């Protein structure tokens, strides 16, 4: 499944789930106004233009509220996916680090075995030279 398919799937899941009547739990406090039932937003011309771009990709008759909802859902889905990807990256980094440490231990053991073999061969060569 591609990243786009996963994001689309997460967004579709959000759209079919029941909306929450309260804002999500935040790890840090949110500003004033979140306890109200409705929030009024004034958009700068730039933000309005970005919102119109989102609306252009939606069905005809899309309202600014629909576009805002889509933007929020897409952002939530992207952030959720980024968190999952970050966790996967951390797992992979830990796995690679553990594998590197194991290879390093194996290399040290091999070097020690090679050094012991070299010492034994040197003693054997000396013994052969003394016998000759």
Going 25 to 31 to 32 to 34, the CA torsion angle's sign is: negative
Q: Where are the beta strands (DSSP E) in 15-127?
A: none
Q: Which pair of tokens denotes residue 89? A: 């990256």
User: Is 116 part of any domain?
Assistant: yes
User: Is 18 part of any domain?
Assistant: no
User: Is 120 part of any domain?
Assistant: yes
Q: What is the pLDDT of residues 40-97, one digit of tens each?
A: 888 999 999 999 999 999 999 999 999 999 999 999 999 999 999 999 999 999 999 9
CA dist., res. 110 & res. 116, Å (int) = 10
Q: Pick the more confident residue, 38 or 121.
A: 121
User: Is 70 part of any domain?
Assistant: yes
What confidence tier does 34 reach under pLDDT thresholds 50, 70, 90?
confident
Residue 102 domain boundaries: 41-131
pTM of the model: 0.50
The whole-number pLDDT of residue 122 equals: 94
Q: What is the pLDDT of residues 3-24, one digit of tens each?
A: 445 545 554 554 454 444 444 5
What confidence tier does 105 reach under pLDDT thresholds 50, 70, 90?
very high
As for how many domains the chain has, the answer is 1
User: Is 63 part of any domain?
Assistant: yes
């Amino acid at each position: 499944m591609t990243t786009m398919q996963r994001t689309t799937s997460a967004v579709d899941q959000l759209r079919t789930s029941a909306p929450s009547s309260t804002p999500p739990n935040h790890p840090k406090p949110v500003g004033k106004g979140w306890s109200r039932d409705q929030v009024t937003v004034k958009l700068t011309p730039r933000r309005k233009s970005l919102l119109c771009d989102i609306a252009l990709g939606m069905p005809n008759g899309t309202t600014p509220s629909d576009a805002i909802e889509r933007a929020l859902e897409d952002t939530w889905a992207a952030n959720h996916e980024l968190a999952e990807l970050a966790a996967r990256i951390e797992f992979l980094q830990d796995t690679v680090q553990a594998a590197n440490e194991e290879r390093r231990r194996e290399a040290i053991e091999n070097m020690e075995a090679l050094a012991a073999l070299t010492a034994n061969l040197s003693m054997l060569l000396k013994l052969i030279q003394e016998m000759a």
